[in-house]
Structure 1
Amino acid sequence: MTSLVQQKFGESAADYAASQVHAAGPSLAKLANLILPESHWRHLDIATGAGHTALLFAPRIAKATASDITPEMLQQAKRLAKERGLNNVVTAIAPADDLPFPSTSYHLVTCRLAAHHFAKPESFVRESARVLIPGGTFALVDNISPTDEDLAFRYNAFEKLRDPSHGRALSLAEWTDLIDEAGLEVESAEVMDQEIPFDPWVERMRCKPQTVERLRAMLEEEPLKSYLKPTATEDGLSFFLREAIVIARKPKETT
């Protein structure tokens, strides 16, 4: 049975392949600076979407596996890899909370701008830790909620109205707790503002006119307005999401 996530992202796969937020957002450049892969590495990108993060590292490593639960997204990843002449990229259907890969298989596991869709984020982190080799790197990029419970509820309601497959954006503290519980050691954690152009954001999810108007209205309601900082310019309406970038390491085995 097709899930709501598969349905929504299957419909918009080509849009995500072309989305500048996903294809060339600041967090992608940040990952490139924070992670220096070696040529023998094997990389798993979880919930890869159109494959942008997998394709970022593929030219510098031995093999990149782009995994997702949406076939249409993996088709886009294959297309982009072929266009760039990357022959070391493979795709795989794989749920984030039950990865069909052997333990200690990858030097690098990443997940970018997808974890807020996961029903079991704790299982996703545990599975990521399981498939990493000792000493391997885990990198998470995702939109995060504020720590204030009421504001977090309003923010997630805003996201879910636009995209019914949205689960819940965790706070940075919640993510670092889950990473710690999975036995990984956080090496760095930072938050950056990501500007989101409003019109492409709603168009990617095929929002109905009444939904678009309600989302616009919510952007003007406090306390959400102060958190998302909507700005109207000659290029159109935009707002800001908070993105966490967390790098963690799986401890090396001791003898």
Structure 2
Amino acid sequence: MTKSLVETQFGASAASYATSSVHASGASLARLVALTSPMPNWKALDVATGAGHTALAFAPLVAQVFASDITDEMLAETRKLAAARALLNVATTRADAATLPFDDDAFDLVTCRLAAHHFDDIPQFVREAWRVLKPGGVLAIADNVGPDALLLPDRSAEQIAEMAEIYNAYEKLRDPSHVRCFGLNEWLSVLTETGFDQPRFEVLDQDIVFEPWIKRMRCDVDTVDELEAMLENNLLIDFLRPRTENDERLFTLQEAIIVARKPEPA
């Protein structure tokens, strides 16, 4: 079977994601845990777990965690990290976010962090999360979000659309498996249309250091030059705020944390 673009990109980068500070200890991870209020008897599922950082953060707080991903190398890194921390309640499962191989009403919590922008069909992932959640269960998502009217209320619809197109092109140049960052409004609409109760959200600044960001995806010199040139685009400057601090080039992504509950029967 031919590997998908995501598997190819992230299989080769699995070890670097295991040690990435953005993924291992970014501010959104602690907030995701805090906002979900996990219970000791919960059964949890982390979708597109990558190197397993989100699954492992929840593992000491719940009864069991299933860490799922389509990339075997990422699941291997998850198992290594779980063993190093003596976390015995973590199981790994190869799974596509759009077709989760779990029973209906199986989990108290479904999480997905810094991964949904790689999904071909985010609404289908949300429907699958709904299906595998128990009534009263919680879906918790953290992902980079693109420009939209909630984040940029002073911009016209045309300006926002152009900014979103350029921003996603920037992400895709660095990582060809990038599909699209939803806007915050899009996320809220998909969740409510699926049936989740009024989603709660926060938006955090996620400062990205340019050099390790390009190295994780093994960008060649020409790609790096093009990415640097794109950061000079006025629309990207407004959204990403590129700058130099302590001789390091940085920019800032907007990361949304969204928590929604599957209602219980009336």
TM range (shorter): over 0.9
Aligned to 1:102: 103
Aligned to 1:199: 211
Structure 2 gaps, min length 5: 149-159
Structure 1 gaps, min length 5: none
What's the offset of the Cα at 1:235?
4.1
Select 1:210's aligned residue among 203, 208, 222: 222
What's the offset of the Cα at 1:59?
0.6
Note if contact 1:122-1:178 (Cα within 8 Å) is conserved in structure 2: yes
What is the letter of the counterpart of residue 22 of structure 1?
H
Distance 2:117 2:197 in 1: 21
Q: CA RMSD in A?
A: 0.8
Which deviates more, 120-129 or 217-226?
217-226
Aligned to 1:189: 201
Aligned to 2:50: 49
Distance 1:65 1:125 in 2: 17
Note if contact 1:155-1:224 (Cα within 8 Å) is conserved in structure 2: yes
Distance 2:95 2:193 in 1: 23
After TM superposition, the score normalised by the length of structure 1 is: 0.98
Note if contact 2:191-2:199 (Cα within 8 Å) is conserved in structure 1: no
Distance 1:33 1:61 in 2: 13
CA deviations 1:195-233 (Å, max 9, x no partner) are 000000000000001100110111111111111001112
Matched ranges for 1:1-255 at <5 A:
1-147=2-148, 148-254=160-266
Distance 1:199 1:31 in 2: 27
Note if contact 2:43-2:63 (Cα within 8 Å) is conserved in structure 1: yes
Which deviates more, 227-236 or 118-127?
227-236
Note if contact 2:147-2:183 (Cα within 8 Å) is conserved in structure 1: yes
Residues 19/242 of structure 1: CA separation in 2 closer, same or farther (3 Å cut): same
Distance 2:264 2:75 in 1: 32
CA deviations 1:7-41 (Å, max 9, x no partner) are 00000000000000000000001112212111110
Note if contact 2:135-2:262 (Cα within 8 Å) is conserved in structure 1: yes
Distance 2:163 2:8 in 1: 29
Distance 2:4 2:247 in 1: 35
Q: Secondary structure at the match of 1:186?
A: coil
Q: How many residues align?
A: 254
Q: Secondary structure at the match of 1:44?
A: strand
What is the letter of the counterpart of residue 48 of structure 1?
T
Distance 1:101 1:78 in 2: 20
What's the offset of the Cα at 1:186?
2.9
Distance 1:187 1:47 in 2: 21
Distance 1:98 1:246 in 2: 22
Distance 1:22 1:190 in 2: 18
What is the letter of the counterpart of residue 214 of structure 2?
V
Which deviates more, 79-88 or 233-242?
233-242
Which deviates more, 228-237 or 92-101?
228-237
Distance 2:62 2:37 in 1: 10
What is the letter of the counterpart of residue 51 of structure 2?
A
Note if contact 1:39-1:60 (Cα within 8 Å) is conserved in structure 2: yes
Distance 1:38 1:242 in 2: 29
Q: Secondary structure at the match of 2:11?
A: helix
Identity across the alignment (%)? 52
Distance 1:37 1:126 in 2: 22
